[in-house]
């Protein structure tokens, strides 16, 4: 028998959230808990069909006027109207001015996919910004639609376990015109941290000034506060700003219609005259994907939203779900405090919506899974999976995991620097290691990959001249001092003399990310990295390959001071002849650049520059005896110790 055409097909990695559900269902442990799935559960841990949904279905079943004919391509008209009204509010000006169109979609995911397809195929947009972190499917949806430039904007601050608003604003301010920006309308997934209203106003202003295309993902209206009005505030405010925008609505959560796939894509156009053309193009996108949408779930939602009694009942049931989630947040926090669990866990109750971004490490997560508590490796938990019966067990197991695998066993650059590098009288706001880089920083982007450029081909290098600091992400106060925006933007082959400006070249030891705020490079947007010699998984999607040429001066210690140029050059030449990928691992250890290359010996040359050339890895060690997220780099120039 001849080989199958499928012989080279490899297994894709499992979809984590569904894999967790399978592990949960397969487990025979009576104490098992599923904290992965994003679906509401009752106090008994059971799925809940909303009573108002059952009532609507009974009414529909007895309505002999209903049938199973095809719906229009754009979907059930009454559903689209009612869904859009719930999102924007009855009297919103964009509705009154006729600036709104909508399209029924297969859940929130379908609405995102439809919008992405339109933006790529019709508008020819190619760049999208998603939050770091975000719902894992955002990247996949936009990649599938053809977006090849997917960037990150900072969102989560791991030190404060809150919003990195300054970083978010800086990244959005540096985004190019017509970049699509995915904003979570309410109850950010996975962090549960939303901007304040004042912060939303600033975000809207940036998007408007920079001509960014706003695409709101509104999957949890009602789930955060229990109020439809409160949870729609950000979407309504953005719609009020006279901008073109999309909103992806989902009724999976607030109606419990997970498997009915009920979604709505709301289109707001500054020019209402263009809605006819937009609709015609959107229907083409729909026709080649699902042709026209299913009826049953959309009919349920329409029946409830257009019936006053049903609508009031539904609002009460949303409040029931939201209040139970809040109750479980408080019970989890109370149990952790009762146990004296190390660390501050107040963020559990400060976060909102279905999920809590706990801050648990991967080792701690693995410990919980070994005790039949299933959650995402990121530490995100679904609060709906907690009940008054299992919350004590979950808290106890979290406590055990945190004590068995404390965060402190991972090297803390910030804590070390506080203790060793900064004199106490100077305070601890700025934790940094000063360096000077005078040369070229270059990157090459493939399809979601970054590779080292050929060092012989320098014509496409982006040459810069900069002063900067090699620093960790520490406190918000430090962040504001560290992130200095450049006045000039480097062009290919251009040297930018920054004078005394101190720009930031930073390493975030939590994420292993090499960053620079030089606008040309936009390195904070990197998600995936690979090279010909290194597997992408090594970097856990945070590392940035780069090449540095020039002089690096650092007030840190070395295991050796790069020996003599003659000796090193010989060694590199010999390695090159052998065809080896010669490397000198450089590890970030408490703000110290130390080389693990054994042949290097101490020298008393002091501040005398020592020319060096080497290829190696710049690493943020997250745990002892374990390679952290690594950044392949090439240094070509002088390195010397500063007193």
Q: What residues act catalytically?
A: 135, 217, 253
* DSSP secondary structure code for residue 40 in this structure: -
* DSSP secondary structure code for residue 237 in this structure: H
400 burial class (0-12, 13-18, 19+ CB within 10 angstroms)? middle
Q: Let me know: does 84 contact 95? Beta carbons within 8 Å.
A: yes
Spell out the residues 6+ positions from residue 623 whose beta carbon is closer than 8 angstroms to its own: 363, 409, 410, 411
Q: Let me know: does 563 contact 599? Beta carbons within 8 Å.
A: yes
What's 124-172 look like in SS3?
CCCEEEEEECCCCHHHHHHHHCCCCEEEEEECEECCCCEECHHHHHHHH
Spell out the residues 6+ positions from residue 40 whose beta carbon is closer than 8 angstroms to its own: 47, 48, 253, 256, 321, 354, 384
Q: Let me know: does 401 contact 471? Beta carbons within 8 Å.
A: no
Nearest to 87 by CA among 275, 217, 214: 217
Structure tokens at 632: 């392949």
Calculate the CA dihedral of residues 228, 234, 237, 241 and round it to 10 degrees: -140
Q: Let me know: does 585 contact 615? Beta carbons within 8 Å.
A: no
Size (the chain), residues: 643
Structure tokens at 620: 């943020």
- DSSP letters of 45-107? S-B---HHHHHHHHHHHT-TT---PPPPTT--HHHHHHHHHHHH-TT-HHHHTT-EEEEEEEH
Question: CA-to-CA distance for 377 and 369, rounded, in angstroms?
Answer: 10
Question: CA-to-CA distance for 279 and 116, rounded, in angstroms?
Answer: 15
* Longest Cα–Cα distance in the chain: 94
| CA geometry: angle 504, 505, 508, nearest 5 deg | 110
* DSSP secondary structure code for residue 479 in this structure: H
| CA geometry: angle 419, 422, 427, nearest 5 deg | 100
Preceding peptide of 593 cis, ω within 30°: no
């Amino acid at each position: 028998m001849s080989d199958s055409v499928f012989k080279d097909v490899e297994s894709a990695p499992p979809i984590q959230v569904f894999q967790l559900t399978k592990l949960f269902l397969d487990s025979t442990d009576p104490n098992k808990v599923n904290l992965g799935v994003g679906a509401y559960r009752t106090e008994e841990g059971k799925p809940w069909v909303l009573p108002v949904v059952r009532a609507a279905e009974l009414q529909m079943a007895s309505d002999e006027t209903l049938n199973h004919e095809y719906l229009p391509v754009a979907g059930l008209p009454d559903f689209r109207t009612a869904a859009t009204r719930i999102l924007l509010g009855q009297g919103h000006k964009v509705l009154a001015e006729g600036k709104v169109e909508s399209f029924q979609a297969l859940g929130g995911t379908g609405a995102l996919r439809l919008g992405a397809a339109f933006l790529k195929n019709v508008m020819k947009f190619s760049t999208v910004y998603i939050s770091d972190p975000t719902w894992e499917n955002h990247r996949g949806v936009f990649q599938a639609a053809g977006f090849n430039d997917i960037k990150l904007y900072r969102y989560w601050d791991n030190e404060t376990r809150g919003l990195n608003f300054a970083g978010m604003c800086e990244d959005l301010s540096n985004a190019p015109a017509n970049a699509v920006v995915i904003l979570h309308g309410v109850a950010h997934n996975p962090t549960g941290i939303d901007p304040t209203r004042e912060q939303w106003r600033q975000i809207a202003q940036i998007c408007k000034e920079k001509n960014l295309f706003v695409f709101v993902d509104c999957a949890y209206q009602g789930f955060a506060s229990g109020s439809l009005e409160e949870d729609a505030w950000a979407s309504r405010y953005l719609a009020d700003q006279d901008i073109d925008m999309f909103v992806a609505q989902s009724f999976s959560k607030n109606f419990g219609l997970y498997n009915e796939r009920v979604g709505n894509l709301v289109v707001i156009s500054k020019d209402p005259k263009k809605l006819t053309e937009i609709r015609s193009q959107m229907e083409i996108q729909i026709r080649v994907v699902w042709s026209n949408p299913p009826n049953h779930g959309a009919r349920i939602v329409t029946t409830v939203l257009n019936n006053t009694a049903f609508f009031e009942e539904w609002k009460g049931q949303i409040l029931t779900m939201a209040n139970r989630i809040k109750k479980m947040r408080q019970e989890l926090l109370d149990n952790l405090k009762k146990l004296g669990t190390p660390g501050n866990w107040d963020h559990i109750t400060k976060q909102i919506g279905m999920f809590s971004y706990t801050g648990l490490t991967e080792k701690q997560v693995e410990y919980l899974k070994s005790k039949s508590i299933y959650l995402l490796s990121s530490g995100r938990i679904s609060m709906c999976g907690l009940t008054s019966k299992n919350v004590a067990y979950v808290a106890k197991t979290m406590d055990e995991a945190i004590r068995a695998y404390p965060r402190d066993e991972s090297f803390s650059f910030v804590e070390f620097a506080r203790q060793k590098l900064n004199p106490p009288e100077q305070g601890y706001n700025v934790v940094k290691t000063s360096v000077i880089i005078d040369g070229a920083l270059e990157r090459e982007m493939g399809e979601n990959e970054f590779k080292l450029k050929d060092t012989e081909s320098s014509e496409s290098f982006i040459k810069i001249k900069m002063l900067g600091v090699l620093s960790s992400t520490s406190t918000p106060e430090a962040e504001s001092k560290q992130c200095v925006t450049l006045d000039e933007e480097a062009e290919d082959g251009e040297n930018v003399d920054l004078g005394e400006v101190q720009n930031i070249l930073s390493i975030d030891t939590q994420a292993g990310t090499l960053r620079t705020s030089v606008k040309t490079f936009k390195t904070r947007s990197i998600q995936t990295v690979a090279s010909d010699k290194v597997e992408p998984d090594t970097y856990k999607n945070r590392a940035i390959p780069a090449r540095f040429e020039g002089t690096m001066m650092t007030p840190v210690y070395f295991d050796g001071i790069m020996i003599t140029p003659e000796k090193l050059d010989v060694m590199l030449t010999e390695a090159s002849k052998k065809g080896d990928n010669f490397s000198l691992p450089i590890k970030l250890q408490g703000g110290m650049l130390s080389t693990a290359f054994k042949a290097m010996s101490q020298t008393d040359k002091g501040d005398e520059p020592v020319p060096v050339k080497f290829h190696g890895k710049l690493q943020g060690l997250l745990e002892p005896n374990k390679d952290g997220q690594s950044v392949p780099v090439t240094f070509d120039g002088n390195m010397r110790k500063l007193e």
